[in-house]
Chain A
Amino acid sequence: MSKSSINTSFLSRNWWKITGVFLVFYSIIMGFLGEVPRLPILHETIRNLYFHVTMWFAMIFILGASLVSSIKYLSKSDYRQDIKAEQYAYVGILLGMLGIVTGSVWAHFTWGAWWVNDPKLNGAAISLLIYFAYIILRNSMDEEQKRARVAAVYNIFAFVLLLVFLVVYPRMNKVDSLHPGNGGNPAFSSYDLDKNMRLVFYPAVIGWIMIGLWIANIAIRTSILRYNQLRSQFSSNKERP
């Protein structure tokens, strides 16, 4: 194999990791140095859009990947899909917890409280609890195939509830939220039309999705390695009298 073909295969396998790193670097640099609209209450914290809101967008995407893996498991009964669903859920929970903590710090300095009884905040907390329950449900079952099937079915319910609590509930007519961008769309509104911010926000979302997928990829490969190792140990034990 020539050197150039090694390089092209390296790029074709890893382009999304490189793109993710590049986009997040771009969002870190432009997120601080770019122009933002001057709004009361928010002030410079409007820049949290690039770092806090991206966590939630990436979380929804990664948990969507977990849902897809669960559906694939139910149709094919491939253990790898079960491992994927579990590890994507872990990374999604990580991103969601980062979103909750960063939002809480922001609330402390903007609203004067670490937590307020706001539909958007409570919706986010409930959807995280639903995914904690997914992990607990998994770990409560010993039998491998049963665990995988029950967890996959629960995961479908969990994703629907996530969309209900994170997307539908804050947008309902009679629900009013303190959160920026309230009154309809939970993430944007007053700064929705700002072109400068969009030019940083969308690349940041794509970048964090790719970084999340990369972390999940490493976790999935580790779990598959461990699974194969345990299986080969088990079969070699069986062969011995």
Chain B
Amino acid sequence: MFNKILLNLIFICLSTTLLAGETIDMADTFRSEGKIYVVVTILSIVFAGIVMYLIRLDRKISRLEKEQSNSEKA
């Protein structure tokens, strides 16, 4: 009888601590739903890198165009 009560107490203690562990708020947004947010972030970074490279190229070519039109006038 005493053993049973003790076991029950231990079980309740364990389960409440386990449950409490689950309800504590953490920064879970990036880990929820199978971590899909991580993939979205990485793809966004890759695309942002390509876009920045395109912007650099675009500016470089604008500068060259200006130089060429100036040298043709001269």
Give 1 or 0 for each of A59-101: 1 = CB within 8 Å of chain B CB. 0000000000000000000000000000000000000000000
Q: In the complex the two chains form, what is the Cα distance from A232 to B69 in whole Å?
A: 12
Q: Tell me whether A29 and B61 are in contact in the complex, defined as CB-CB below 8 angstroms, given that A218-B54, A229-B68 are known contacts.
A: no
B65 & A225 in contact (Cβ 8 Å cutoff): yes
Interface of A is mostly: helix
Interface range for A: 10 to 19
Contact size class for B? Answer: 10 to 19
B43 close to A (CB within 8 Å): yes
Q: Using Cβ atoms and an 8 Å threshold, which residues of chain A touch B37? A: 33
A19-34 to B contact mask, C-beta < 8 Å, 1/0? 0010011001100110
Q: How far is the CB of B72 from chain A (nearest CB, A)?
A: 7
The tally of CB-CB contacts under 8 A between chains A and B is 38
- Chain A residue with minimal CB distance to B42? A28
Q: Does A8 contact B (CB under 8 A)?
A: no
Instruction: List residues of chain B with CB under 8 Å of any chain A CB.
Output: 36-37, 39-40, 43-44, 47, 51, 54, 57-58, 61, 64-65, 68, 72
Q: Which residues of A contact B (CB under 8 A)?
A: 17, 21, 24-25, 28-29, 32-33, 214-215, 217-218, 221-222, 225, 228-229, 232
28 CB < 8 A contacts A-B: A17-B54, A17-B58, A25-B44, A25-B47, A28-B40, A28-B43, A28-B44, A28-B47, A29-B40, A29-B44, A32-B36, A32-B39, A32-B40, A32-B43, A33-B36, A33-B37, A214-B54, A217-B58, A218-B54, A218-B57, A218-B61, A221-B65, A222-B61, A225-B64, A225-B68, A228-B68, A229-B68, A232-B72
